Structure 1
């Protein structure tokens, strides 16, 4: 589907010239261009016109959530028929895990996740993986932080259609594998419930649920329903259900990862013991074994992102997967307020590393935690492609 710009305004003043020059530059393969303009001069409208003319998926990068929300609202109005998505940090409150060697104080990770923003993040990655070309994602700098492998995320998509042969229990196992939870009481996003031959699943990235009705081992009917009233919104022939979490992993990979985590734990504990740092050795062994037990039982644990290197099959020191990996190669990067946004991108890696070094040195985390990180500035630049600043 093509981008369709809807607006009561038409480009005026310098805007037609700017739109023409930027579009020409992008079509001619210019790697970087700069759009200058004072506040209120219509830079967002200008860029909306450029996106519509070039007809390529776009990532609009902002330096704070407020600005991102404002741009998201504006672009949603300009492109009501296209997929305009929002990808920012989903924490209302976040206290990262840290250790202060000078005082011996360990600060546990504490956070509050905003479910509405988590839904929007999943909607962004899901839109990109459908193969749609008319996608604009408005993102904060959180888009350079590690998330799940897009290949693994894509492998865990469940497609259902009427007439499909699959037992009800088989389907329930599939939902559990893609990190949906069964519930009987509180039906909320990321949950499914079962009543006889009927399975309801409240998708994690939208405001509706699907009702799947079985006749024996065959899917007889699929309906889109209002999750709160149960009222039918539409009948569906075929539906695609994306995972409920960006860190989804297949069973085979999970067992492989657990074995590698154990091997690395043994090596690091040995290292601490050789250095006669027995407290650190004991601490690391206990914490890692607890996490492994949780992963075996539930498929994940608190702080599972610290083990992402094993799940992603990455080499030591290799960059993590991030939102940019979900875009096709020819996407357009628009960096809003670039004089503030780019220094922020550059600073993220250093701050994260300083905190993690202390955690690893004192046995709170395995060295692999260092590879759960934001991109370095060089890695970011290498991934970006054509940009408008």
Structure 2
């Protein structure tokens, strides 16, 4: 689908020239371009027109959540038919873990995740991995912080088609691998429930659920439903069920990561013991062994981002994957208020 700009206004003043020059420079492959304009001069409208002219996916960086939300609203109005996404930090509150060896006090990590922002983050990753070209992501600097490997995200995406041969059991296993949790009562994002030969999946990056009805080993129906009332919204021929978390990995990669975590844990525990720090060694061993057990049984653990290097198979010092890795190679980056954003 192509970008379709909707506006009651046409470019005026200096905007037509700015749009033409920016478009031409980007088509020639120029890397760094600066657009100067006072507040209210229409820089946002100019960006929208450049995206419309080039028909390329875009990342728009903002220096805070408030401005990012404002840009998100404006671009949703400019491109109502296209995928306009929002990607910022989903923490309402975050206290990192700490350990005070003098008193043997362990302060556990405490955090609160905003469910709506988490949905929007998953929606952004889903849109980028869907193969669509008409995607604009409005983001804070969160887009350069680590998330899961895009290849693993793609591998864990489940495509269900009406009429295909698929067993109910194999489908449930795939949902668990994609970090969906089974529930019967609290049906919320990232969960699924089973009733006979029918599976309802509340998609992680959407406000709707999908209902997959099986007849023996065949998918009999694929339906979009209201997660609260269960009312059928639309009959589908196929659906993509994207992972329920940004930090998803394959079972094989997870098992390999656990082996490497164990090796490094053993070395670090021996180091702490050799320098006379048995309390630190014990605390580290308890925490990491608990996390490994969670990963074995659930495929996930709180704070799994701390193990991203092992899960991605990266070497020490190599940067983690981030949202930018989910974009195609020819995407455009706009840095709004760059004098404030770039220093971040």
Q: TM-score, normalised by structure 2?
A: 0.97
Give 3-state SS (helix, strand or coil) of 2:219's partner.
strand
Q: Does 1:151 align with 2:147?
A: no
Could you say which residue in structure 2 is the equivalent of 1:380? Answer: none
Give the Cα separation in 2 of the matches to 1:262 and 1:256. Answer: 10
Give the equivalent residue in structure 2 for 1:8.
8
Q: Aligned to 2:127, what secondary structure does the other structure show?
A: helix
Structure 1, residues 280-329: CA drift from partner, whole Å, max 9, x if none?
22221122112112222221112111111110000011000000000011
Cα shift at 1:97 = 2.5
Match of 2:114 in 1: 114
Q: Is the 8 A contact 2:101 2:279 kept in 1?
A: no
Say if 1:71 and 1:128 are closer, same or farther in 2 by CA, change over 3 A. Answer: same
The structural deviation recorded for 1:44 is 0.2
- Aligned length, in residue pairs: 344
The 1-side partners of 2:312 and 2:162 are apart by 34
1:264 is matched with which residue?
Answer: 264
Work out the CA distance in 1 between the residues paired with 2:101 and 2:183: 43
State whether residues 104 and 279 of structure 2, in contact with CA within 8 Å, keep that contact through their aligned partners in structure 1: no
| Stretches of structure 2 lacking an aligned partner (at least 5 in a row) | none
1:323 matched residue in structure 2: 323
Residue 103 of structure 1 and its aligned partner are, at CA, apart by 9.3
Q: Which aligned pairs between 1:292-371 and structure 2 lie closer than 5 A?
A: 292-344=292-344
Quote the Cα distance in structure 1 between the aligned partners of 2:101 and 2:62: 35
1: CA distance, partners of 2:142 / 2:239? 30
- Correspondence list, 1:88-99, <5 A: 88-98=88-98
User: Which deviates the most, 107-116 or 174-183?
Assistant: 107-116
Aligned to 2:36: 36
Q: Which runs of 5+ in 1 are unaligned?
A: 345-389
Distance change (3 Å), C-alpha of 1:11 and 1:314? same
Q: Distance in 2 between matches of 1:288 and 1:183?
A: 28
Deviation (angstroms), 1:108: 2.7
Map 1:14-163; keep pairs closer than 5 Å.
14-98=14-98, 107-163=107-163
By how many angstroms is 1:107 displaced? 3.9
TM-score by length of 1: 0.86
Q: Deviations over 1:347-385 (max 9, x none)?
A: xxxxxxxxxxxxxxxxxxxxxxxxxxxxxxxxxxxxxxx
Stretch moving more, 96-105 or 294-303: 96-105
Q: Report the equivalent of 2:175.
A: 175
Judged with a 3 Å threshold, the aligned counterparts in structure 2 of structure 1 residues 105 and 337 are, in CA distance, closer, same or farther, namely: farther
| 2:148–2:322 Cα contact (<8 Å) kept | yes
Map of 2:224 onto structure 1: 224
**2:168–2:214: 8 Å Cα contact kept in structure 1?**
yes
Q: d(CA) in 2 for partners of 1:281 and 1:319?
A: 27
CA distance in 2, matches of 1:292, 1:241: 27
- Find the residue that maps to 1:32 and give its secondary structure: coil
* Offset from partner CA, 1:130-181 (integer Å, 9 cap, x none): 1111100000011111000000110011011111111112211111111111
Q: CA deviation at 1:238?
A: 1.1
Kept in 1: contact 2:213–2:219 (CA 8 A):
yes
Counterpart Cα distance in 2 of 1:343 and 1:101:
35
CA RMSD in angstroms comes to 1.5
Give, in whole Å, the separation in 2 of the partners of 1:197 and 1:77. 41
Look up the match of 1:203.
203
How far apart are residue 271 of structure 1 and its match? 1.3
Please name the residue that 2:281 is paired with. Answer: 281
CA shift for structure 1 position 275: 1.6
Where does residue 234 of structure 1 map in the other structure?
234
Residue 164 of structure 2 corresponds to 164
Q: Is the 8 A contact 2:179 2:300 kept in 1?
A: no
Cα deviation 1:32-74 (Å, max 9, x = unaligned): 0001111111110011001111111000000000000000000
